[in-house]
Structures are given as structure tokens and as C-alpha cells.
Amino acid sequence: MPQAKPDTNNLPYADGDFYSFEDLLTGAEREKLHAVRDFLAKEVKPIAVDYWNRAEFPMELIPKLAEADLMSPVRRQGYSSVFAGLMHAEFTRADTSIATFMGVHDGLFTGSIEALASEEQKAEWLPDIYAMKKIGAFGLTEPLGGSDVAGGTRTTAQKDGDTWILNGAKRWIGNATFSDWVVIYARDVADNQVKAFLVDTKTEGYSASKIENKIALRSVQNADIVLENVVVPDEYKLAGGNSFRDTNKVLKVTRLAVAWQAVGQQMAAFDVARRYAVEREQFGRPLASFQLVQDQLVKILGNTVASMGMMVRLAQLEDLGQAKDEQSALAKAFTTARMRESVAMGRSLLGGNGIVADYEMAKIFADAEAIYSYEGTYEINTLVTGRAITGISAIV
């Protein structure tokens, strides 16, 4: 009689949390994380591949996300940074495009308002932002400025009485084709400092066009923005956004979020690869029964656990107010490098099916390339870390 197959979905390590990091959460945080996981399984996972294939965003998700009340888990809701990170990893595990949408609206855009707006501005703007009645975007990267945008911002802002006149262009701006507002970072021609402005996307002179033919994050509506004499009232200049040093207050935190995405991407690769290896048979046996397959699964798990361990500790430092820019840089560089290895092994394990989006791994593999590049490339984050440990800058 053939042996019955074991119920591998009920193994203690089937979820990939090999060292029980979730046990560091409070009871309320674990309950919320499980609710988020259930929400993603019900509302996001079933539609993710289809929308990714069509390069469209599921607008019907926005009111459901609003009802789930997930905005600003640390500043607004009082959860720990460990919880916020694990939640963002879970979003990425379900679908990187939806995680990126949340990272833009809740992280970069809302984070800019929370960190740089005055108390009066926050009181006026944040209620609609938290309720997702107003969707936001974050306009920093430019067509000719990515890694060097700190000192090379070409978009300009010129004071004109009680208004500012913005001119320039931005590129790779997520959510910008449908957002209500966008925070634009522009160089003040009077003092050459980068300043932050909240721009209504219906303002005359503002236009956003979708970037087509992407191979990653296909559901994210990245756009090219053009600003032609866009008039912004002075009260819509973010009071605390007066230099790129202020901008870095936002980027330090969101760089952590992207590193958490690298964790979630590896969790997704492990999920798909483990399930496929157990269920797929070759030579009359499950793929998982072959030693080389187990070796690759364990390497994916090891990369995931190492990345998660680094991120949990960094999140704890963030809660203590001790996290540093260079620690965020190392985390982003390390976790995304491990992620690249993990998704490549996962894709290999699926063989030919690994290049078909229907099996999920092709989408996971492709989306990883975007995570590897945005919020500071591997090279730039490496050099930021190198400067911290040598005292010598290798960045021109």
C-alpha cells in the first residue's frame, strides 16, 4: 500500500516564521496581524495576478483598505515598529503592487505630512488622508535625477507674493495617475534648498501620464509628472520641509519599509516554492523528496530569516529612537540582495512554470527587481554604510 501524503500545510514551519518572530508582538498586535493576513488572503491574493497581468490597479480595493483601518500604525495607532514592519511584509507577501501602493500613500506621502507639516496643516489634511478619502503620491525622483536627487533637484519653486510657482518634471511617481494630492519636492531658487509642497492634482499646469511596459509592479500606476507654472498657495508649503535634510526624515523610515518588503518578497517565494515542491511530482516522487530541492528551500528560508532578524532589531531601535540612517541603508542593501537570491532560487525550483505568472513565482521574481532599485539602489546604500564605518565618503 502506498503511504499517505503528510499534511504539509500544518507543519509547524509552513508559514516560514522559523524563529517565531511574531511572538515578540503583543497579544493585540498578533490579533491585528492575523486579521490583516486574513484580509489579504480574501481580498488581495485572489485578484493580484490578474490585475498584474493587465497592468491595472484594483480601485475597488481602496474603500476596503480604508475600512480595514491600516493607516499609520505607529504614529496614529500606537503599534510598535516591529508590528508595522511585519504587516508591511505581509502585504508584500500577498502582492507587491498593493504593498507599494500602501507604501506610497501611507509611507512616503502620509509620512511627509506627519513629519514635515505644521500642526495646523496636519489637523486640516490628515483626517481625509487617514480615511483614504484623499489618496496621495510622493514626487521626488526626476527624469534626470535618481540617486543624485539630493543635490541635483531640477524642479524649481519660486515665491511670488503669497504663492509659489512650481516648474519641472518628476518620474516614477506611484499612484500619480489617480491621486488627489501629491507632495512635490522642489528647489527654491532663492536659497537653493529643497522644499516640500502639497499639490492638488487638479491644479492647472499639473499633468501625469502613466509609464507603460514595465516588467515589475505592473499594477502600480507609476507616472511621469510635468509641472508648468503650477501655482501653490503658501499655506500648502509644508512648514517643516525646508531642506533635503528634512526630506531624509521621511526617507529614513520608508527605507525601512522597503527592506521589510524584501522580507515579504522572500516569504512569498518560500510559500510558492515550498508548496510547489511538495505537490509537484517528478520521477514518481514529490520534488521535495530530492536533496538538492530541500537545499534550495532551506537557503531561501535562511535568507528570509536572516533578513527578518535584521529588520526586527532595526524596528526595535526605531521604537527606541536610536535607528540611524546608515543602519537603514545597510538593511535595505542586505535584505534586497538576499531577496534577489531567494526569488531566483524559487523561480528555478518551478522550472518552466517559474516563468508563467499563473504560478505566481514569475510575478514575485519580476517584482523583486523594483524593490532592489527603489528607495536607494544597492550601490548607494552600500556606500552610505561604507562612509559610516570608514569616515570616508566614496560618493562623488
pLDDT digits (tens, 9 = 90+) for 172-205: 999 999 999 999 999 999 999 999 999 999 999 9
pLDDT in tens, 160-178: 999 999 999 999 999 999 9
Question: What is the model's pLDDT at position 294?
Answer: 96
Report DSSP letters for 56-108, one per residue: ---TTHHHHHHHHT-S-TTTTT---HHHHHHHHHHHHHH-HHHHHHHIIIIII
CATH 2.40.110.10 residue spans of the chain: 136-243
Give me the mean pLDDT over the 283-303 stretch.
96
Residue 129: strand, helix, or coil = helix
Neighbours of 60 (CB within 10 A): 9
Burial 323-351 (b: 16+ CB within 10 A, else e): bebbbbbbbbbbbbbbbbbbbbbbbebbe
From residue 200, give the alpha-carbon distance in Å to each of 120, 122, 227.
Answer: 18, 16, 12
Just give the CATH number of 21-130: 1.10.540.10
Report DSSP letters for 195-207, one per residue: EEEEEETTSTTEE
CATH 1.10.540.10 residue spans of the chain: 21-130
pLDDT in tens, 1-26: 444 555 666 777 777 889 999 999 99
Ordered alpha helix ranges (H), the chain? 27-39, 45-54, 61-68, 81-94, 96-102, 110-116, 119-130, 149-152, 244-279, 291-319, 325-349, 361-373, 378-390
Question: What is the model's pLDDT at position 253?
Answer: 78
Q: How sure is the predictor about 146, in pLDDT bands with cuts at 50, 70 and 90? A: low
Class of domain 245-390: mainly alpha
Question: What is the model's pLDDT at position 377?
Answer: 87
Question: What is the model's pLDDT at position 168?
Answer: 97
Question: In the chain, what percentage of residues exceed pLDDT 90?
Answer: 86
What nine digits make up the cell of 7? 499534511
Q: Are 230 and 206 in contact (CB under 8 A)?
A: yes
Question: What is the model's pLDDT at position 150?
Answer: 60
The overall average pLDDT reported for the chain is 93
Q: Are 363 and 357 in contact (CB under 8 A)?
A: yes
User: Per-residue pLDDT for 110 more than 50?
Assistant: yes
User: Per-residue pLDDT for 247 more than 90?
Assistant: no
What nine digits make up the cell of 100? 507599494
User: Per-residue pLDDT for 115 more than 70?
Assistant: yes
Question: What is the model's pLDDT at position 1?
Answer: 45
What single-letter DSSP state applies at residue 3?
P
User: Per-residue pLDDT for 357 more than 90?
Assistant: yes
Give me the mean pLDDT over the 216-236 stretch.
97
Class of domain 136-243: mainly beta
Give me the mean pLDDT over the 361-375 stretch.
95
Q: How sure is the predictor about 389, in pLDDT bands with cuts at 50, 70 and 90? A: very high
Give me the mean pLDDT over the 74-101 stretch.
96
| Sign of the C-alpha dihedral computed for residues 246, 248, 253 and 257 taken in this order | positive
The residue type at 261: Q
What is the spatial distance between Cα 63 and Cα 337, in angstroms, rounded to a whole number? 35
